[in-house]
Structure 1
Amino acid sequence: MSLNVMRRSLRLSVNSWKTFSDISQSSRRHFVRVDETMVAKELASINRPVRSQWQNSSLGTLQLNDSVFSLEEGSSDPKNEELLYYELLEECNSPLEVLELSQRQPPLPAEISNCLTRMWTCAKMASEEQRRRHLQLILKHPGFELLLQNAMTSLGVMQNEDMAYSLLSMVHLGVPEKSRVVQMYLRTCQERLNDLDEKSLSILVSCLERLDNTANVNALKRGLRLLVEARLEEMESVSALQIAVRVLGGDMPLDIKRKIERKAFQMAERFDVSNAQYLIFTMADMGFRSRPLLDICSQRIVENMAEIPLKRLLKVTAAFRELRYKNVALMSAVSDRKASAIA
């Protein structure tokens, strides 16, 4: 049913409410007095851009552009509402457009991370000079301060993955590390550390790699190391093993290194070519050299050589040089691939 039809069929004037209150109890069953929240969600699903214009009435009706009307309960779907907002974000082509949207329609807690992520995605797609200019304008924009305030007040009800994505996007966008919002998110991550799943942990590790060693960052890193060491025996996925290598780094104790190698042998059949490449790059970045792990990764790359672009192979060989690792079978396969590409 369109919004105009609903207005024509359900419109009530404010002055008519007294008349309604005098109607007999038996007649009132034909009218529905709904919760204000359900009304707001219904309007958002019908015409999302009007969400910021509504005001709740003590009479259980919704006032919009001087019109007062009631809606039947149960016709709103929060998932549809969130999807509609996500579609509006996808139409934004710059960080400033995202901020303008967030000012017109303040995001719900589940939508804040989408706003921040979309801002960074738009900035990342611009040229380096444009990106620098965008980031300067963002930090001065009044809408960005409002969005960060919303992010702070909504943190208590935010999902762990949304929290991690929000923190990572704020760091990318240049929010100062010592700002109140970043420090609040870091402390909350410490409090929820035991509840984070693999994806949220991976996002958090990516964020910490971009932060300086402040008190909260160091405390969170120590907590991550303890958590990873405690969960090492329970790890069942290659992605968890990759997180362990990123968190523990090249200076991990020898006994922990042996545990990781044993886990890698147990998971050898689960390694695919993407896992192998990612783990090699991670080990090179961390300065973590483990010949058993590198042997497993090399074998997967040789077996799937035709699937890997030549530029990617060159990056793999560069990572091997950093790790001082040599594998005759791999180097021969890479040489053959180069020769075939030139021919």
Structure 2
Amino acid sequence: MNNKAHSLLWNIRQLSTSLPRSRVLRIYPLGFGRPEVVHSQWNPRNGLLTGFDEGLQPSVRYLFQGISKSVDGCTQTKGISRAAVFKRDRVLCPRRFSSDSEHSLVSDGTSDRDLMKVNFHPTSSADVLTRKTRPTPVNHKKLAQECNSLSDVLDTFSKAPTFPGSSYFLAMWTIAKRVSEDKRRFEIQLMFSHPAFSLLCEQLMREAKIMHYDHLLFSLNAIMKLGVPQNTLMVQTLLRTIQMKALKELDRFSVLNTQHMFEVLAAMDHRSVVLLNECSKAVIDNIHGCPFKVLIGILQSCRDLRYQNEDLFKSIADYVATTFEIWKLKQVIFFLMLFENLGFRPPELMDKLMEKVVEDPGSLNMKNIVSILHVCSSLNHIHRGQNREFLEAMASALTVRLHHISSENLLSVVYSFCLMNYFPLALINQLTKKTIISELLTSGDTEKNIHKLHVLNTCLKLDGNAHYKTVHIPLPPLPQSPSHPSDRVAEVLSNLWEGEGYFSRNVQLPHNYHIDFEIRMDNNRTQVFPFSDVDAPSAPNMQRVAVLCVPKSVYCLNSSHPRGLLAMKIRHLNAMGFSVILIHNWKLRKLRMEDAVAYVKTKIYSDETLPTTDTTV
């Protein structure tokens, strides 16, 4: 069974180059007829494999050869007897999908009587001789040799539609490959307009439930290469049938099969949480000895599928941390770059990397330095014991390369240092030269450069020492960022204080900062003062409180540890005289009004300090 699973996974991966990504699923109805099938002794394993290895990648051809060999000893025959009847006027509209425990997913409205009945019992030669002579199953290789165009294939199908319908698609793709690109486009246009095309599509869709998964994969590959949109009912039926089959065999997958399932789903652009959760458990249980390429493939697939599994990420990070010495430095950095992209902060692994940097900063190249600083600043990671030594080691490694650093790399590393509240003099002096600033404002990604330079300006004014406060970089103004204070929070505050007189909305501050709500409280945070008191800001025993409504993305995954930009904003608001309260949007949305009022009241009147280390949300 492991061989079957291996074949399923590796063959689906071949579709990654032919399946277009489509986030929005809209199923277009095609005008399909419903031909009933005339078929004789067709073996679903042999029907498509004969001659199909031509033109395939070596690895795929090898797998197909292996499958063919495994079938040579099969003596069972399967028969289907139906009269060919075309219903040309019927249009197939989009229908919901349904599934059961025994079969793959098919469309509603298709009864068991409509499906082709396959006889899995051996038949004797005498039985065969007494049966009515039936057409021989179509062979795609022979059909491609006999036909000169895609329309010829469809003409053949319309005269005597034969099982399996997938052979016609394979034959059309074989023909399409051997003609010029211009002629191929013209032939495909004729294919879509051919009256038999919709009939063939419905036949294949009806056959999908009983087809072997190898044949499903071959068919889907040919269909996508021929330009059939992914969001048609036929393609979605094939995709889903290949999936719910994978799920049925999942408990028999080998460890390697399970690991590769992540890449398979990413290639199909299908976020099946059930499959991903089950495969994650298998990866966690068998993490030791898992090669670098496989682990990276899993993390890249999670990123592409927007799948976040903290247990899986922690398992990989802990494994890399405990086997730190066997990994190359660039491999560890690659892991951390993917973790950062997924919003996951692995403290132990990051500490080990920072210790390695302190021990041997000369081992880093420029690309390593930029990547490490980006990860540490984005995830707002501070080494409890060696943070200062780490920052000084990184700055020293950059200073010796100062006159060989590109302007954009220099800006990137200084921007990262600013997020971490560290300001290396030599690097900032070099960056603030007029020639460097001019280059950054006129070349490369100027919009991103301007944003980073504004951050530098703000940090020098609010965080830097007296020397830095005199530095000013002339920059074009940033566009006013749209602000949408939470109406839900405003409603909660109004219910809490019976009106809007105790808070102000969308307050604009210097340095392009704004806060969602401002309230004024006594220093003990036990009393709120109304905004009608114009002398409140200057009154004794008074503090300004900034209420920020934040999404989950500003925190590291499943923690209350703020990421770099949020940590910097909190630091700067504190420097401007504000205390900061964070309201979690995602939590507030789930609460009834009375519970939401209680939640916000607790946040406002609590004297808790903002967290700087990991705590569970």
TM-score (norm 1): 0.53
Which residue does 2:50 correspond to in 1? 4
2-structure distance, mates of 1:155, 1:301: 48
Which residue does 1:241 correspond to in 2? 369
1-structure distance, mates of 2:426, 2:266: 37
**2:359 aligned to which of 202, 210, 230:** 230
Percent of pairs with identical residues:
7
**1:278 aligned to which of 396, 412, 430:** 412
Which residue does 1:103 correspond to in 2? 246
Shift, 1:165, TM fit: 5.2
| Residue 45 (str. 1) matches residue 60 (str. 2) | yes
Q: Kindly tell me: are residues 146 and 193 of structure 1, through their superposed partners in 2, closer, same or farther at Cα, counting changes over 3 Å?
A: same
Are the counterparts in 2 of residues 238 and 270 from structure 1 also a CA contact under 8 Å?
A: no
The residue type equivalent to 1:242 in the other structure is V
Q: Kindly tell me: are residues 5 and 285 of structure 1, through their superposed partners in 2, closer, same or farther at Cα, counting changes over 3 Å?
A: same
| Residue 188 (str. 1) matches residue 310 (str. 2) | no
Which residue does 2:169 correspond to in 1? none
Q: Kindly tell me: are residues 295 and 202 of structure 1, through their superposed partners in 2, closer, same or farther at Cα, counting changes over 3 Å?
A: farther
Q: Kindly tell me: are residues 255 and 185 of structure 1, through their superposed partners in 2, closer, same or farther at Cα, counting changes over 3 Å?
A: closer
The residue type equivalent to 1:185 in the other structure is I
Shift, 1:146, TM fit: 4.2
Q: Per the alignment, in what secondary structure is the counterpart of residue 71 of structure 2?
A: strand
Which residue does 1:127 correspond to in 2? none
1-structure distance, mates of 2:408, 2:450: 15
Deviations 1:239-278 (A, max 9, x none): 2223443448577554443332221122224422442343
Equivalences for residues 54-73 of structure 1 within 5 A: 54=67, 61-63=69-71, 66=74
Q: Per the alignment, in what secondary structure is the counterpart of residue 473 of structure 2?
A: helix
2-structure distance, mates of 1:64, 1:297: 71
Q: Kindly tell me: are residues 285 and 258 of structure 1, through their superposed partners in 2, closer, same or farther at Cα, counting changes over 3 Å?
A: closer
Which residue does 1:25 correspond to in 2? none
The residue type equivalent to 1:188 in the other structure is Y
1-structure distance, mates of 2:330, 2:230: 27
2-structure distance, mates of 1:277, 1:112: 40
2-structure distance, mates of 1:102, 1:242: 45
Q: Kindly tell me: are residues 291 and 67 of structure 1, through their superposed partners in 2, closer, same or farther at Cα, counting changes over 3 Å?
A: farther
Are the counterparts in 1 of residues 259 and 294 from structure 2 also a CA contact under 8 Å?
A: yes
Equivalences for residues 173-322 of structure 1 within 5 A: 173-177=306-310, 179=311, 181-206=312-337, 209=340, 210-211=343-344, 217-235=346-364, 237-245=365-373, 246-247=375-376, 253-298=387-432, 300-322=436-458
1-structure distance, mates of 2:75, 2:415: 60
Are the counterparts in 1 of residues 333 and 371 from structure 2 also a CA contact under 8 Å?
A: yes
Give the unaligned 5+ runs of structure 2: 1-47, 77-216, 462-467, 480-617
TM-score (norm 2): 0.32
2-structure distance, mates of 1:101, 1:272: 51
Are the counterparts in 2 of residues 276 and 297 from structure 1 also a CA contact under 8 Å?
A: yes
1-structure distance, mates of 2:459, 2:276: 43
Deviations 1:185-234 (A, max 9, x none): 1221113323434543334334555336xxxx433333222222223132
Shift, 1:280, TM fit: 3.5
2-structure distance, mates of 1:6, 1:222: 53
Are the counterparts in 1 of residues 258 and 279 from structure 2 also a CA contact under 8 Å?
A: no
Q: Kindly tell me: are residues 207 and 270 of structure 1, through their superposed partners in 2, closer, same or farther at Cα, counting changes over 3 Å?
A: same
Q: Kindly tell me: are residues 6 and 164 of structure 1, through their superposed partners in 2, closer, same or farther at Cα, counting changes over 3 Å?
A: closer
The residue type equivalent to 1:187 in the other structure is D
Shift, 1:316, TM fit: 1.8
2-structure distance, mates of 1:291, 1:67: 81
**1:331 aligned to which of 470, 473, 492:** 473
2-structure distance, mates of 1:330, 1:242: 25
Work out the number of aligned pairs and report it.
251
Are the counterparts in 1 of residues 296 and 335 from structure 2 also a CA contact under 8 Å?
A: yes
Q: Kindly tell me: are residues 330 and 323 of structure 1, through their superposed partners in 2, closer, same or farther at Cα, counting changes over 3 Å?
A: closer
Q: Kindly tell me: are residues 168 and 264 of structure 1, through their superposed partners in 2, closer, same or farther at Cα, counting changes over 3 Å?
A: same
1-structure distance, mates of 2:412, 2:265: 26
Are the counterparts in 1 of residues 263 and 301 from structure 2 also a CA contact under 8 Å?
A: no
Higher helix share: 1
2-structure distance, mates of 1:195, 1:160: 11
Give the unaligned 5+ runs of structure 1: 8-40, 56-60, 69-83, 124-133, 339-343
Flag the structure with larger Rg.
2
Deviations 1:164-203 (A, max 9, x none): 45346547844442x3x33431221113323434543334
Q: Per the alignment, in what secondary structure is the counterpart of residue 323 of structure 1?
A: helix
Deviates most, 247-256 or 286-295: 247-256
- The structure whose RCO (Cα within 8 Å, separation 6+) is larger is 2
The residue type equivalent to 2:280 in the other structure is L
Q: Kindly tell me: are residues 184 and 258 of structure 1, through their superposed partners in 2, closer, same or farther at Cα, counting changes over 3 Å?
A: closer
The residue type equivalent to 1:222 in the other structure is D
The residue type equivalent to 2:416 in the other structure is T
Equivalences for residues 36-185 of structure 1 within 5 A: 45-46=60-61, 54=67, 61-63=69-71, 66=74, 100=243, 103=246, 111=260, 114-115=263-264, 138-139=272-273, 141=274, 143-149=275-281, 151-152=283-284, 155-156=287-288, 158-164=290-296, 166-167=298-299, 170=302, 173-177=306-310, 179=311, 181-185=312-316
1-structure distance, mates of 2:284, 2:410: 38
Q: Per the alignment, in what secondary structure is the counterpart of residue 360 of structure 2?
A: helix
